[in-house]
Amino acid sequence: MAATGGNLPMPAPANAYTALSNPIVVIGEQFTAPYPVDLNIQQKVFTLAENNFDITDVNGNLIFKVKGKFFSIRDRRVLLDAAGNPLVSLKQKILTVHRRWQVFRGESNSSSDLLFSPDFKVKGGWHESGCTIYAGDAIIAQMHRKHNVQSIVLNADSYGVTAYPNVDYAFIVALVVVLDEINADSNGED
């Protein structure tokens, strides 16, 4: 999938990490970098739809947006690139015992556009300090919760995320948003 919207900003590199020998690409190859990518995920407040996020690099450049759908039968979020083009839709699966989410290309909900992610696990405390995301035994990303005035006073989530080299950072953002939703539900926040 080629980048859309012309020349979109590439996120600034993070500190040095060992690159995976085989890239992990879920959403698009254009969202991988040969260096670690640090991103800030900030929940927007005072919007009609819940759980809208702005995702910026360490220099404050907008990289992605997540928009929630206001009137939806099930929870639905859309990950957009900086130009506002839909990359993937994150949708809560209905009629399941455990809260499950599905990720589709663009704004589709067709089974032919359902994306499959690599086998991953999350270790660490989600709401305390942070967590580490693994694909098999390899670390592919780390997330830490940021505490600032907006997150404390307005109860607006804020995360720092580092996607490791050759890991699809759009996929990591989508995964963190889904994990935020799952954890909000388990804490009775949603």
Which tens digits make up the pLDDT trace of 109-132?
A: 788 888 755 567 888 866 667 889
Q: What are phi and psi of 151, to 5 degrees?
A: -70, -30
Planar angle of CA 66, 55, 14, nearest 5 degrees: 145
pTM of the full structure: 0.79
The number of CA neighbours under 13 Å toward the Cβ of 142 is 13
pLDDT tens for residues 32-64? 999 999 999 988 665 455 568 999 999 999 999
Bridge partners for 39 per DSSP: 57, 161
66 vs 50 pLDDT, higher one: 66
